[in-house]
Amino acid sequence: MKPRQNLALFARLSAASDGAPRLLGTRRIGRYLLLALLLVAAQAPASCPEPSTADLAAIKGTDAAPALPEGQAVVTEGVVTGAFLGRDRLNGFYLQQATEQGPVGLFVYMPGATERDAERLVPGKHVQLHARTGAYRGRVQLQRVERVEICARDRLPEPEALAWPLDESELETLEGRLVAFAEPLTVTGNYELGRYGSLRLANERLFRPTNAPDDAQERAVLMLDDGSYRAFPSPIPYLNDDGTRRVGSRVAGLTGVLTHAFDAWRLHPTETPRFLDANPRPAPLEEPGERLRVAAFNVENYFTTLGQRGAANAEELERQRAKLAATVAGLKADILALVEVQNTPGALADLVEQLSLRTGVTYRAVGGRADRGSDAIKLALLYRQDRVEAISELHADNDPVHHRPPLAAFFQPREGGEAFGVVTAHFKAKSGCPARGDIDQGQGCWNERRVAQAKAMAAFLERLATEGSERLLLVGDLNAYGAEEPIRTLTDTGLVDLIARELPPERRYTYVFHGESGYLDHALASPALAASVAAVHPWPINADEPPFLGYDGPESAAELIRPDPFRSSDHDPVVVDLSPEGR
């Protein structure tokens, strides 16, 4: 209650019970004045050594007045809401004060804080500062703290209860203040967890807008930070007992200080967040039994030449081999369509040998004199001779629009049944954008190139149907999301998008980029084969996992990198099971 509110109370006490004003005797006036003064004293700010020269609202600026100039000496006070002292943290603390403009929060940069300062500057402590105004990355702060005085031990202000998302004006008002989110949020991205200790949160998992038709998600993102901006934190925060934090996890109990830094709204927690593993790691796939299983897998640059696009050294190569073998063992595939193998005969031979040795299942690469192109990476088709027979050599589409020629081969089940063809492709990536020409117009750059590749692929499939069989399965990394033009170009020819046909929208992903999920890896069947598809799904072992668990993870994560299938690549493998009908 402010003094003017107490005076209003005094006026109400001076009125008759029926609301008519009346004169008071001297003794009664004295009693009311004493009551008003006691109320003012009870609600006044805690006593500090000297008067403040500016409140936090004046320092920070309001709609009616700008912030104080940088470098101005001020004496001000407030309650510590979040302490993040030390070089490994934010090198400061947050202060909050009730002002006539409402609660105001401000960061105090104090790199020279001593152990004694750390003991005193704890949440709930009312302090007075002698400091100077400043700014960092456009945000007003206090800095160059000359003296800290303890005023009183106050209670923390109640966190402002919020519901996500908030509009920009609300966020600006709340910046620097203690807040709490009543409802759990979802981890929609973990790319920066190992590097900066932060997670992307949203109301639900976010999908790429072009992943499915009529996408209308609310796309606001809140970064859950860790009270630090240091790189490669050790230990990495927010991990579960398996040493991971998957996309799709839910997090509740979010209480902390809201701020804006590095182009994002962030929450530095003052209470430990509570995580729910709402998207646990999947188990290995069941054996296909009488079905035949085809799996497409981007192996993320398998290079035996060290220091190029793949492993930087022998230790990383060993990690990569172990993780790829664990993945292949879990897939239990009869045919493997692989993407991103080093374009040398030795690298493919080494991969086949390593997979066979480590899984106990003998794989063989389909051979032939097909042109693999001149790109640094190529495609490959592997198969189990005990389950299927390769009844053709490799076919390649050498249309010059492809920098990595698509490959195809025909197979016959050992137990009998109709022959079918498997085609694998790796379309032009969305990265390396040109300054002009085939630029990003909503579907990533090089989309015109990918559309042209899709048209060439349609012609290649027509030739294969004429020369071999109409039962064709196209799998691979097409670098286009499900509702983008390259995929529509293929489905317009009659191909069936199996992932879209078989899976609900929330499961249609094989890749996560900037906190948005989607499927770049596809399984498309010709009408003659589509009826024989018994099951299709990605195996979510990679895209949901944080990148630091990969074979080339940082030193801070070395103890967490294991010879398991998780984060064996940045893409999830896609599995297609074909029914035994027709044998």
Per residue in 263-285, pLDDT tens?
999 999 999 999 999 999 999 99
Q: Is the pLDDT of residue 204 over 70?
A: yes
Question: Which ranges constitute the DSSP H helices of 292-391?
Answer: 314-331, 345-359
- At 416 the pLDDT is 85
- At 64 the pLDDT is 79
- At 72 the pLDDT is 96
Lowest mean pLDDT of 22-36, 75-89, 272-286, 563-577, name the range. 22-36
Tokens 């109301």 belong to 203
Read off the pLDDT band of 574 (50, 70, 90).
very high
% of the chain surpassing 70 pLDDT: 91
- At 189 the pLDDT is 98
Read off the pLDDT band of 37 (50, 70, 90).
very low
Lowest mean pLDDT of 4-18, 320-334, 497-511, 549-563, name the range. 4-18
Reported as type and span, the H/E element at residue 13 is helix 3-13
Q: What is the pLDDT of residues 17-33, one digit of tens each?
A: 333 333 334 333 344 33
Q: Is the pLDDT of residue 415 over 50?
A: yes
CA dist 479 and 431 (Å) reads 10
Q: Is the pLDDT of residue 43 over 60?
A: no
Q: What is the dihedral of CA 330, 335, 336, 342, to 10 degrees?
A: 140
Average pLDDT of the chain to the nearest whole number:
91
**Average pLDDT rounded to a whole number, residues 363-373:** 93
pTM, to two decimals: 0.89
Q: What is the pLDDT of residues 188-202, one digit of tens each?
A: 999 999 999 999 999
C-beta atoms surrounding 42 within 10 Å: 9
Q: Give the 3-state secondary structure of residue 522.
A: strand
Higher pLDDT, 47 or 430: 430
Read off the pLDDT band of 10 (50, 70, 90).
very low
Long-range contacts formed by 97-100: CB under 8 A, 24+ apart: 97/55, 97/56, 97/57, 98/157, 99/55, 99/56, 99/57, 100/2, 100/57
The answer for 482, left when phi > 0, alpha when psi is -120 to 50, beta otherwise, is: alpha
The answer for 144, left when phi > 0, alpha when psi is -120 to 50, beta otherwise, is: left
| Secondary structure E strands in 427-579 | 472-477, 496-497, 511-513, 516-518, 521-525, 533-538, 574-578
Q: What is the pLDDT of residues 228-262, one digit of tens each?
A: 999 999 999 999 999 999 999 999 999 999 999 99
% of the chain surpassing 90 pLDDT: 86
Terminus-to-terminus CA distance in the chain, angstroms?
85
Long-range contacts formed by 464-469: CB under 8 A, 24+ apart: 464/395, 464/408, 464/421, 464/423, 465/526, 468/392, 468/395, 468/410, 468/419, 468/421, 469/410, 469/418, 469/419, 469/420, 469/421, 469/528
**CA angle in degrees (0–180, nearest 5) for 243-565-225:** 35
- At 173 the pLDDT is 94
Q: Is the pLDDT of residue 8 over 60?
A: no
CA dist 432 and 373 (Å) reads 20
- At 216 the pLDDT is 80
- At 16 the pLDDT is 32
Read off the pLDDT band of 51 (50, 70, 90).
very high
Q: What is the pLDDT of residues 422-449, one digit of tens each?
A: 999 999 999 999 999 999 999 999 999 9
Residues making up the chain, counted from first to last: 583
Residues 6+ apart with CB under 8 A from 34: none
- At 225 the pLDDT is 98
**Average pLDDT rounded to a whole number, residues 143-167:** 92
Q: Is the pLDDT of residue 63 over 90?
A: no
Read off the pLDDT band of 137 (50, 70, 90).
confident
- At 154 the pLDDT is 75
CA dist 535 and 234 (Å) reads 42
C-beta atoms surrounding 284 within 10 Å: 14
Lowest mean pLDDT of 146-160, 331-345, 351-365, 473-487, name the range. 146-160
- At 265 the pLDDT is 97
CA dist 151 and 155 (Å) reads 12
Q: What is the pLDDT of residues 494-547, one digit of tens each?
A: 999 999 999 999 999 999 999 999 999 999 999 999 999 999 999 999 999 999
**Average pLDDT rounded to a whole number, residues 465-476:** 96
Q: Is the pLDDT of residue 105 over 70?
A: yes
Smallest Cα–Cα separation from 298: which of 247, 341, 350, 346?
Answer: 341
